[in-house]
Chain A
Amino acid sequence: MKKGFQTIMGLATAIICIIVLHVEAQSPKGKYRNVVLTNATIETVTKGTISNGTVLIIDGKIAGVGATVSIPAGTEVIDCKGLNIYPGMIDAGTNLGLNEISAVARTTDFNEIGEVIPQMRALTAVNPNASAIPVTRVSGVTTVLSIPTGGMLSGTAALINLHGYTPDQMYAGFEGIVLTFPNTGRRGFFDRRTDDEIKKSSDKALNSLNDVWEKATQYHKLDSATKGKAGYYPEMQALVPVIRGEQTLLVEVNASKDIQAALKWLKEKKVKKTILTGVSEGWRVADEIAKSAIPVITGGVLELPSRDYDRYDKAYANPGLLKKAGIKVAIKSESGNNNYRNLPYHAGFAVAYGMNKEDALKAITIIPAELFGVSDKLGSIEVGKSATLFICNGDPFETKTQVSHVFIEGWEVPMVSRQTELYDEFLKREPGVSKTKK
C-alpha cells in the first residue's frame, strides 16, 4: 500500500513537472487581474505627483489612486518600492499594424491606391499580431494612432491600444480623416524637381482638394435634404462627418508656407474639428498657428532642420517653441520605421532643447488623449480611467530607464517581444563555436 502511494506520488510529481515545463514552454499571455500597486511614485500627469502612493486596478479600471487607498481583501499586490507609475504613452503618428516591413510591398497595408480615398479604414487592416506591437508596448507606449498615408485624402486613421486579438478589441475610441495638405517641400535627396515643378504640382493639388471639398459639401446638403438617401458615394460619405464638424480632420503639413496655406484653407472651409500634424516648420509661423487655436501633433523630433541655413537644433527645439507660442502641442515619434518605442526619447529631446519637462510628458499622454476625445479613459492616472499604465525605475525619458510592467485596459501584458526572445536565446549561445565542446 505504502509503495503504491509512493508510486502515485511519484507519478503525480512527474505530471506536475511536465505541466510546469509545458507551461514554461508556452508563449506568455496577458493577464487580466485585479491588482494593487503599492509604495510607488505616481505621476498622475493631471493631478501632480504622489510619493509613496497606491494605484488600485479593478476590472480593468483605476479604482483608487492616492497616498491611502482602501484595498479589498485578497487583492494581489505588486510592490513598487523605488519605482514610478506613469499613464501609458500615446504615439499620435504611426502606421503600426499596417506596416510589417517597409521595403516589402506585400507586407504593407497603409498605402491604398488613390488620391481621394477617405473611406479606407486603418482599423480594417490593423494586424493585431504585427511583430512591432510587443516591441512597442514593452517600452510603455500603450496606445497609437495608426495612419494610412500615400494620397491626398489617404484614409481614416484609428487609435488603437496595443493589446488585443482583433481590431475591435484594440480600438481605443477615435477615428479621424487624414489629409496630406498640398505641399511645397521636397521629399528627400532623390526629389529632383525644379522649384517651378513643385509649385505647379502643389497648386494643382490644391485645386483638386477644393473640388473634392465642394463636392463633399454638395453631398452633405443632398444627404441632409434626402435624409440619408443621397446614394452610395463612399468617398463623399466618409467626408460628410468632417463637413458637419462631427469628425476630426488630421491635416499633415510641414513647410511654413504650407502651414499658412492650410490655416487659410481651414478657415475658408470652416472646418470645425481639426488637428495639424507634422508641423516641422511650425516654429516659423507659431504665432499664426496659435491665433487659429488649432492644436498640433508635431514630430518626429529627432529630425534634421528642413533648410540648410536653419539653426542645427531647430527640429529638436520645435515642440518647445510651439508650446511657448501658446499652441496645444502633442508629440509623436518618427512614423513609418516601426521604432515607436522611441517616443519618450522624442519628448526627451524636446526637453533637452527647451521644452518644459511637464509639458513634454503631457504631450505624449493627456494632450493626445484630449485631442482624440478619449481623455475620460486615457492619458492620466485618475480614478475611473482605464488601467492603461506602466511601471518603470525612473524618468521614462531617460534612455537607461527600464520598464518593468505594462497594463493595457487592465491587462498586464507579457514583458517579451521577439527582440527580448532573441536576446535570451543568443546572449550565451549554445552551442558556441564548437558544436560539441561547451
Chain B
Amino acid sequence: MDMKKLILSIASGFLFLFAQAQIEKGNLLIKNGTVLTITKGNLDQTDVLVKDGKIIQIGKNIQAPVGSKVIDATGQFVMPGIIDAHSHIALDAINEGTNPITPEVNEADVINPLQIGIYRALGGGITTVHAMHGSANAIGGQCETLKLRYGTFDPDVLKMDGAPRTIKFALGENPTRSHGEGAGIVPRTRMGVEFVIRQAFTEAKEYSDAWAKYNKNKLVKGFRGAPPAYSYRHEVLSDILNDKIIVHCHSYRADEIYMMLKVAKDFGIKRLVFQHVNEGFKVAPELAAQGAMASVFSDWWAYKFEVYYSTAYNAAILSKNGVVTSINSDDAEMMRHLYHEAAKTQKYGGLSDQEALELITINPAKQLGIETRVGSIEVGKEADITIFKNHPLSIYGVPMLTIVDGIVRFDREKDADDMRLWVDPKQAIETSVFRDKLNDADHCMEGAEFILDSEIFKANNK
C-alpha cells in the first residue's frame, strides 16, 4: 500500500467516525425489582440484564457478568423509559411560520443537546421524545425522534437512528390565526385549512407523476425531454403520500379531525396520528375504523375556544373505543410527570394500571413507529428503563434512575443542589424565569409570535 492510499484510508476512517455519531451503550444488571414489562405482565423480584445497550435477559437470580454495574432495585418499580409523543425540547427553533405549507424544513437541523430541559425530562423518567415542529402552519416541518442521551455535545447523538420520519400538520385556530389573521392569506377558516392541504397533496401527486413519467421515458431510446424542476417540498409531500412519513396532526375539534380523516382516505395516507385531539372522543368510532391514533393531554382545557368543550375522560373514551392512545405533554414541565398524567385516566374513566401505563410507553412507541425497539421491557429491546420509588401511577411515585441504552443518564441520589457549571462574574442580576401562566398553554406557537404582532393581525383584531 503506497503512502497516498494509506493517508486516504486513514482520512476516510476519520470521516466515517465523524459521520457516524458515537452512541454510548452500557452494560448493567438491575436486581430484584418489580418489573412492569408492559407487554408481558408484571414480574416480582426480577432481574434485568443489559449488554451493549440492549436487554438480553429477564429472570430471577441472574448472575452479574464480571465487571458489570449492578443496580439494586429491591422494593422499587422497573418500567420501560417513558415516551413523550409531543415535545418541543432540545430544539432551537419551533415554527417556520412564514407559509402555511413548510414540509421542507426539518427539526433535525436545529437540535440543541445542551438544553437543561433534556436533563429535567430524564428526572421525570422520560427516555424518548418526539421533538416536533410547531403548529403555525397547516403542513409544518419534519420532526425528529430523540433519545435523551444528555451529556453529549453532538446534536446527532440525540437522534434515534432509524426511527421513522414524521411530520407536523396543524388544523384549526393556530394556522388560521397565523396566516389568515396574521398575514391575510388562506387559510383563515377551517375550510381554508382543508383546501391548502388538499392543494399541496394534489400538486405533490402531479409532481411525482411527472417524475415517474420522465424516469420511464428517459430509458426510451431517442428521448429528448428535460426532467421536471426539482422541488424538495414536493419530494417530502410525495413521501407522505407514499406512507414513508408518519403524519402527526395537531387538532382539537371533532369537525377538523373528521375532515383530516377524509383527506387522508382520499389520498391513501395510512399512517396518521392526531395530536392533542381534545375532541377526539366525539369521533372515536371514526378514528378507530380508519386506524388513526391519538396522542392527548390528560386534562388541559379552556385555554382557548377550540378546547372549551373538552373532557378529561378523552383518553378513556378513545381507548375504550379501540383507538391507540397516548398521553403527551407538549410542555417542558408536564413532561416531567407523564406517569401522573397517565394516572388521571384512572380517575377519569377507570383505566387499569396496565392500560394507563401503556399510554406513556408502548402506545406512543407505536405512534412513532418505534415499538419494536422501545416501549416495553423485553429481551432484544433497547435498554431504556426508568426505576421508580413507589408505583409510577401513585402520586408518591418518584423516578430515581433513568437509563438510556444501558447508560444511567439520571440518578436522583447523585443530583446536586446547585447545578451551576461556572459562575459568570459579570452577571449583574441573577435573573429568574417564571412562566406566564395565562399564556403558556400554547407552546406550539413558540417562534410564531411575530405573526401575532403583525399589523394585519392587529387590524383583524380591532
Residues of A at the B interface (CB closer than 8 Å) are 100-104, 131-132, 184-191, 195-196, 198-199, 254-257, 280-281, 300, 302-313, 334-339, 341-342, 345, 348-349, 351-353, 395, 397-402, 418-420, 422-423, 426-427, 429, 432-433
- Shortest C-beta distance, A139 to chain B (Å), equals 8
Q: What 1/0 flags go to B328-365 for Cβ under 8 Å of A?
A: 00001110110010011011110000000000000000
- B337 to A302, Cβ gap below 8 A? yes
Residues of B within 8 A of A198 (CB): 429, 431
A185-B340 contact in complex given A102-B441, A304-B120, C-beta closer than 8 Å? no
CA distance A336 to B438 in the complex (A): 5
Residues of B within 8 A of A303 (CB): 333, 435
CA distance A433 to B404 in the complex (A): 42
- Shortest C-beta distance, B258 to chain A (Å), equals 11
25 A-B residue pairings within 8 Å (CB atoms): A101-B305, A102-B303, A102-B438, A104-B305, A131-B308, A185-B431, A186-B431, A190-B446, A254-B434, A303-B435, A304-B333, A306-B433, A309-B418, A312-B419, A313-B123, A338-B301, A339-B300, A352-B395, A352-B398, A395-B395, A397-B396, A419-B348, A420-B311, A420-B313, A427-B316
B302 at the interface (CB under 8 A from A): yes
Of all chain A residues, which has the CB nearest B440? A188
- B420 to A196, Cβ gap below 8 A? no
CA distance A342 to B286 in the complex (A): 31
Residue tally, chain B, CB below 8 Å to A = 70
- A310 to B340, Cβ gap below 8 A? no
Residues of B within 8 A of A104 (CB): 304-305
- A429 to B437, Cβ gap below 8 A? no
Residues of A within 8 A of B332 (CB): 304
CA distance A281 to B433 in the complex (A): 11
Residues of B within 8 A of A191 (CB): 433, 436
- A188 to B433, Cβ gap below 8 A? yes
- B438 to A189, Cβ gap below 8 A? no
CA distance A148 to B227 in the complex (A): 64
A399-B419 contact in complex given A255-B432, A418-B311, A419-B310, C-beta closer than 8 Å? no
Partner of B428, one of A189, A195, A310: A195
- Shortest C-beta distance, B9 to chain A (Å), equals 44
Interface stretch of the complex, out of B63-71, B186-194, B277-285 = B277-285
- A399 to B418, Cβ gap below 8 A? no
- A399 to B432, Cβ gap below 8 A? no
- Shortest C-beta distance, A312 to chain B (Å), equals 4
Residues of A within 8 A of B7 (CB): none
- B304 to A102, Cβ gap below 8 A? yes
Partner of A400, one of B119, B393, B420: B393
A195-B429 contact in complex given A303-B435, A418-B311, C-beta closer than 8 Å? yes
B299 at the interface (CB under 8 A from A): yes
Residues of B within 8 A of A433 (CB): 285-286, 289
A397-B434 contact in complex given A402-B347, A422-B313, A426-B282, C-beta closer than 8 Å? no
- In the complex, the number of residue pairs spanning A and B with C-beta atoms less than 8 Å apart equals 197
B231 at the interface (CB under 8 A from A): no
- Shortest C-beta distance, B215 to chain A (Å), equals 40
- Shortest C-beta distance, A138 to chain B (Å), equals 11
Interface of A is mostly: loop
Most central of A199, A305, A351 by chain B CB within 10 Å: A305
Partner of A188, one of B281, B304, B348, B434: B434
B442 at the interface (CB under 8 A from A): yes
CA distance A341 to B449 in the complex (A): 31
- B435 to A304, Cβ gap below 8 A? yes
- A188 to B429, Cβ gap below 8 A? no
- B434 to A349, Cβ gap below 8 A? no
CA distance A304 to B394 in the complex (A): 20
Residues of B within 8 A of A186 (CB): 431-434
CA distance A191 to B436 in the complex (A): 10
CA distance A254 to B431 in the complex (A): 11
Q: What 1/0 flags go to B292-309 for Cβ under 8 Å of A?
A: 000000011111110011
Residues of A within 8 A of B299 (CB): 339, 341-342
Partner of A337, one of B305, B340, B441: B441
Of all chain B residues, which has the CB nearest A344? B395
- A400 to B347, Cβ gap below 8 A? yes
- Shortest C-beta distance, A80 to chain B (Å), equals 19
Residues of B within 8 A of A429 (CB): 282, 284-285
- Shortest C-beta distance, B455 to chain A (Å), equals 19
CA distance A365 to B290 in the complex (A): 48
Residues of B within 8 A of A300 (CB): 437
Residues of A within 8 A of B119 (CB): 312
Residues of B within 8 A of A400 (CB): 343, 346-347, 393
- B431 to A184, Cβ gap below 8 A? yes
- B398 to A419, Cβ gap below 8 A? no
B415 at the interface (CB under 8 A from A): yes
- A336 to B397, Cβ gap below 8 A? no
A187-B436 contact in complex given A101-B305, A400-B393, C-beta closer than 8 Å? yes
CA distance A432 to B346 in the complex (A): 25
- B432 to A426, Cβ gap below 8 A? no
CA distance A310 to B431 in the complex (A): 12
Partner of B434, one of A187, A309, A345: A187
A131-B302 contact in complex given A184-B429, A433-B286, C-beta closer than 8 Å? yes
CA distance A257 to B432 in the complex (A): 10
- Shortest C-beta distance, A260 to chain B (Å), equals 12
Residues of A within 8 A of B436 (CB): 187-188, 190-191
Partner of A102, one of B281, B302, B320, B334: B302
- B346 to A399, Cβ gap below 8 A? yes
CA distance A103 to B441 in the complex (A): 10
A190-B303 contact in complex given A399-B393, A433-B285, C-beta closer than 8 Å? no
CA distance A306 to B382 in the complex (A): 34
- A196 to B305, Cβ gap below 8 A? no
- A427 to B317, Cβ gap below 8 A? yes
- Shortest C-beta distance, B317 to chain A (Å), equals 5
- Shortest C-beta distance, B10 to chain A (Å), equals 41
A190-B449 contact in complex given A103-B442, A304-B333, A345-B340, C-beta closer than 8 Å? yes
Residues of A within 8 A of B286 (CB): 433
Residues of B within 8 A of A305 (CB): 120
- B432 to A307, Cβ gap below 8 A? yes
- A419 to B434, Cβ gap below 8 A? no
- Shortest C-beta distance, B453 to chain A (Å), equals 10
Partner of B311, one of A101, A302, A339, A422: A422
Can you add 19 more A-B contacts, CB < 8 Å, to A102-B439, A400-B343?
A: A184-B429, A184-B432, A188-B433, A188-B434, A188-B440, A199-B429, A302-B334, A304-B120, A304-B332, A308-B419, A311-B419, A312-B119, A312-B336, A338-B302, A352-B396, A399-B394, A419-B348, A423-B313, A429-B282
B390-416 contacts to A, CB under 8 A, are 390, 393-398, 415-416
